[in-house]
Structure 1
Amino acid sequence: KITDQLVKEYDVIVIEDLKIKNMTKNHHLARSILRQSWGKFREMLEYKCKKYGKILIKVNPAYTSRICSKCGKDTGKKPLSVREWDCPFCKAHHDRDINASINILLKGLAQL
């Protein structure tokens, strides 16, 4: 139902091109990743976008959570436990996931 809603509501959808098989090698995350069925979700998005003539853009996830979405500077690697941070360059405050999603969208739109 969620993939149907996304495809019907948006003409362009941008996702991270995650290497799920590699991610499941981390024994701390594997069960959670597999339980969420990320691979199946992506497959469904792909075929539904094709069916309805929508655009699905897959972007490389490298550095999306460490680049400031306001100024574009690389702020360095952060452990997964760091969920919020301030950019040392422009002083913008970021939620790690929201910042990454903005960067993913910007990368995807740049590919259009």
Structure 2
Amino acid sequence: MLQYKCDDAGVWFEEVDERYSTQTCICCNRRTGPKGLEGLGIREWACFECGAYHHRDISAAVNILAAGRRHLAVGIPVLPAPGAAAVG
């Protein structure tokens, strides 16, 4: 649905890979959080490497935001204006 709305508005849309976003420490970027199905019930955890304390949902949100910003740093392709004729 978001892709359709962005296409209609002429804006760029790209999905960000959210794998391991709940397991990755937002301070040291190490994957030390709870793993597996049994880890899904653990809502808060401390990083084994740096000792930072995390809430699973907040950590995931920060990691996904950081991934999106890394994509922006690479650059967004220029899209033609809606209704503009293709040159070529």
* Cα distance in 1, alignment partners of residues 55 and 13 from structure 2: 25
Larger fraction in strand: 1
- Alignment RMSD, CA only? 1.6
Distance 2:12 2:58 in 1: 22
When normalised by structure 1's length, the TM-score is 0.54
1:60 is matched with 17
Whichever residue aligns with residue 92 of structure 1, its letter is A
Query: What whole-Å deviation, never above 9, does each CA across 1:12-35 have from its counterpart, x for those lacking one?
Result: xxxxxxxxxxxxxxxxxxxxxxxx
Task: Return the offset for 1:75.
Answer: 0.3
Distance in 1 separating the partners of 2:16 and 2:60: 12
Q: Which whole-Å CA distance do the structure 2 matches of 1:105 and 1:90 have between them?
A: 21
Distance 2:15 2:23 in 1: 19
Count of residue pairs brought into register by the alignment: 69
1:74 has 2:48 as partner: no
Give the number of the structure whose residues are more often helix, by fraction: 1
Q: Name the larger-Rg structure.
A: 2
Question: Counterparts of 2:12 and 2:27 in 1: how far apart (Å)?
Answer: 26
Separation of aligned partners in 2, 1:51 and 1:96: 34
Instruction: Note the residue ranges of structure 2 that are not aligned, 5 or more in a row.
Output: 73-88
* Offset, 1:95: 1.0
Match in the other structure for 2:47: 87
2:84 corresponds in structure 1 to none
**Shift of residue 52, structure 1, vs aligned partner:** 2.2
* In 1, Cα distance between equivalents of 2:53 and 2:23: 12
- CA deviations on 1:82-110 (whole Å, 9 max, x unpaired) are 01111122221111011011111111221
TM-score (normalised: structure 2) = 0.66
